[in-house]
Amino acid sequence: MTSANGGPAGPGEQVDLAFLETPGLAAAFVAGNRPRAHGAGLDVYEYDRVTADLTSLLDWPVRCEASGREHLTVGERAATAQTAGAAYRMAARWFHFGTLLPHPDRAAVARLALEADRAMGRALALLDPAAERVEGEGFAGWLRRPAEGGRVPVALVVPGLDSSKEEFHAVIEALLSRGLGVLAIDGPGQGVLAGTSTFEPEYQQIAGRALDALSERSDLDVERSAVVGLSLGGWFAAKSAAGERRLRAAVLVSGPGRLDWAGLVPFVTATLAQRCGGPAAARSFAARVDLAGLAEQLTGPVLLVEGGEDRIPGVLNAGDVRTELPSGELLLVPHGNHLLGNAQGEWLPQAADWVVRALADADANADADADADADADAGVCA
């Protein structure tokens, strides 16, 4: 048995992973994650080949790693930068997918997260040489800017329970294509930082440090920022928008409104336990996830993106508490599943447009407030 950091588990922090050997669970896991693989940019036909005869989930990381290494080889033998970059990017996605399980070998999973990070760095060096590594206390990520240049707003992209910055390339590209700078990060307990840290409930601190790292740049308007969080990242995004004034708008994709520890399935409780530092810490973290409790602080616009087929035991969806949010809007795709990998074209363009519009509206409101203040100072009465 291992602890959340991959070392020997101490008394009271052991994570029960026996459920991973449940008969039929491997096939269910493979089927359940197929839409997610598609949404992450994996070739679903390759996904089917890689997972076709998987009988034990303990072999999942090895399978994904092998596929990732095949793509690394393609990249190293490629004749053009475009082909090499695309292959390295695909390798990064496969390495990341190998980390999805609450696997007993946490050291191996942490190594795969590092491989994903390195492969993405190699990809961006070829596909987007202007991309920059941005790191600080509790976060690490990549900053990318739109091709047209100029001073642009920033969108912070935040992963969730078992995701990482390598997974949401389509989200990043959609925001870039609409003229936004994008900083996609891993926070504590996520992606490349999962092996050395645990989840931070006060995620607004992480978001604030990430924005601080960009605050001196003349090409980014950090005061006009938005945050997009996916799955549990939706909760992190809500916490960030509630506590960080520079985040003018938030998009929560398949985000939780509340967690009921007793109702959560073993996959979720085990992953939380590993990434929080043990079962007790995981229970405490889960008890803090309450979107309605942030209602008074979430004064800016919030878009809740929901799939009608997204029902996870023990998780109350963010859309279910929408009426408690003063500025919450709902974008519902009835047949969408968790993360809406089966309906990406039906939510992502609209959500990206919404971010641009929300930031423009925030600017207009700020200008109106400034004019009103000026009129008041001049003694003008309406």
Whether the CB-CB separation of 223 and 153 falls below 8 Å is answered with: no
Look up residue 94 and give its two tokens: 């496969």
Calpha distance 312→234 (Å, rounded): 15
Asked whether residue 119 falls in the same domain as residue 145, the answer is: no
- Report residue 328 as tokens: 């919450």
User: What tokens appear for 75 in the block?
Assistant: 């990249």
Tokens 């605050």 belong to 215
Tokens 């999805």 belong to 100
Residue with tokens 């078992």: 162
- Rounded to 5 degrees, what are φ and ψ at 158? -120, 125
- How many structural domains is the chain composed of? 2
pLDDT of the residue at 12: 45
CA distance 359 to 374: 23
Tell me how crowded residue 272 is: count the other CB atoms within 10 A of its CB: 29
**pLDDT, tens digit (0-9, with 9 covering 90-100), for 56-95:** 999 999 999 999 999 999 999 999 999 999 999 999 999 9
| 346 and 219 within one domain | yes
For the chain, the distance separating the N- and C-terminal CA atoms, rounded to the nearest angstrom, is 70
Is 149 found in the same domain as 105? no
Q: How far are the Cα atoms of 149, 218, 302, 303, 319 from residue 234, in angstroms, in the given order?
A: 29, 29, 11, 10, 11
- Domain interval for residue 73: 13-129
Structure tokens at 205: 């601190």
Nearest to 351 by CA among 237, 204, 187: 237
Helix%, strand%, coil% for the chain, nearest 5: 50, 15, 35
Same domain, 102 and 235: no
Question: What digits encode the pLDDT tens for the residues 219-269?
Answer: 999 999 999 999 999 999 999 999 999 999 999 999 999 999 999 999 999
Q: Is residue 4 part of a domain?
A: no
pLDDT at residue 80, rounded to an integer:
98
In a domain, 3, yes or no: no
φ, ψ of residue 329 to 5 degrees: the values are -115, 150
Q: Does 160 fall in a domain?
A: yes
Work out the pLDDT band at 333, boundaries 50, 70, 90.
Answer: very high
CA distances from residue 51 to 44, 54, 99 in whole angstroms, order as listed: 10, 5, 15
Residue with tokens 């034990």: 56
Q: Are residues 180 and 122 in the same domain?
A: no
Q: Do 316 and 226 share a structural domain?
A: yes
Residues with Cβ within 8 Å of residue 372, at least 6 apart in sequence: none
Percentage of the residues of the chain whose pLDDT score is greater than 90: 88
Instruction: Look at residue 70 and tell me if it is in a domain.
Output: yes
Does 140 share its domain with 117? Answer: no
Strands 181-186 and 220-230: unpaired
pLDDT tens digits for range 180-200: 999 999 999 999 999 999 999
**Whole-number pLDDT of residue 8:** 31
Distance of CA 186 to the CA centre of its chain: 8
| Domain stops at, among 129, 144, 167 | 129
Instruction: Give the C-alpha distances (Å, rounded to integers) separating 155 from 41, 180, 234.
Output: 21, 7, 14
Distance CA 193, CA 172 (A): 20
What's the pLDDT at 11?
A: 38
Residues in the chain: 382
Residues 241 and 226 in one domain: yes
Q: What is the pLDDT of residue 306?
A: 97
Which range is least confidently modeled, 41-45, 149-153, 169-173?
149-153
Residues 103 and 159 in one domain: no
CA distances from 20 to 16, 26, 29, 267 (A): 9, 8, 10, 8
Residue 151 amino acid letter: R
Residue 53 binned pLDDT confidence (cut-offs 50, 70, 90): very high
Of 309, 275, 253, nearest in space to 106 by CA: 275
State the CATH number of the domain containing residue 263.
3.40.50.1820
Residue 141 confidence (pLDDT) above 80:
yes
Q: Is residue 6 part of a domain?
A: no
pLDDT at position 13 is 63
Partners of 74 in the β-ladder: none
Do 149 and 173 share a domain, yes or no?
Answer: yes
The structure tokens listed for 327 are 């500025």
Residue 2 maps to a domain? no
Residue 38, amino acid: H
Residues 6+ apart with CB under 8 A from 130: 144, 145
Above 60 in pLDDT, residue 371? no
Within this chain, do residues 139 and 121 fall inside the same structural domain, yes or no? Answer: no
Question: Are 279 and 169 part of one and the same domain?
Answer: yes
Q: What is the amino acid identity at position 19?
A: F
Nearby residues of 376 by Cβ (< 8 Å), 6 or more positions away:
none
**Where among 100, 129, 158 does a domain terminate?**
129
- For 140, phi and psi rounded to 5 degrees? -155, 135
DSSP-derived pairing of the beta strands 132-136 and 315-317: unpaired
Query: pLDDT confidence of 378, banded at 50, 70, 90?
Result: low
- Tell me the pairing of strands 152-158 and 181-186: parallel
Last residue within a domain, chosen from 129, 159, 177: 129
Q: Is the pLDDT of residue 210 over 90?
A: yes
Where residue 374 falls among pLDDT bands split at 50, 70, 90?
Answer: very low
> Which tens digits make up the pLDDT trace of 97-130?
999 999 999 999 999 999 999 999 999 999 999 9
Give me the chain's average pLDDT, please.
Answer: 92
Q: Is residue 5 part of a domain?
A: no
Model confidence at 373, in pLDDT bands (50, 70, 90)?
A: very low
State the Cα angle at 211 between 183 and 268, rounded to 5°: 60
The reply to whether 1 falls in a domain is no
